[in-house]
Amino acid sequence: MTTATKWSISGTYFEACNCEIACPCIFLSAPTDEDCTVLIAWHIENGSFGDTALDGLNVVLAAYAPGPMTDGNWQVALYLDQRASESQQAAMTQMFGGQAGGHFEVLGGFIGEILGVSSAAIDYKADGKNRSLTVEGIAAMAVEAIEGGDGSEVTISNNPLGVVPGVPPVVARSSQLSYNDHGMEWEISGKNGYFSTFSYEGP
């Protein structure tokens, strides 16, 4: 059941997965390795859920899809910034879990199993063409934007599936994607990454 609480958040996000560059999942095609393992991180620069401020907090989602992303049956685990208060964690769980409307409600329709929601020490860094992340004791991720023919960033516009609708993601290459939790172990490098700004709201 969708909550009626008004909310909005904005900031930056990035992701890395096991697909070759550029990940075909955003074009509704099958992953390059038949299944998809992806880590997605958000840094909320400004945001609120009702009267609860969310500025400066981080959220990470680990997801495994056994085939094309749009076929569903995702297994996911959500990690919330340990600096968040109880009310902030509750707000982020509702938003990113899809119970508060907006884009996450759409993505939530693809989830088959929630492996866990937990609090963690999350370090998120954005510096020019580089993005990096650590979830203490669980995950690490780093990507760098690919240089285009004219030296500028490579972006993809109007893709039918993405973490941030309507915002062209920058195409990047991972130097690290490691994850070890809920019986899943990933150790990947040299594969696909995307990053962009984000803005979500609901309901």
Whole-angstrom Cα distance, residue 64 to residue 115?
11
Task: Using alpha carbons, select from 129, 138, 3, 113 the residue that is nearest to residue 63.
Answer: 113
Residue ranges, the chain, pLDDT below 50: 1
Nearest partner of 172 among 135, 141, 198, judged by Cα: 141
Enter the pTM of the model: 0.95
pLDDT at 4: 82
What DSSP designation does 1 have?
-
d(CA 192, CA 150): 21
Of 104, 58, 78, nearest in space to 203 by CA: 104
d(CA 59, CA 61): 7
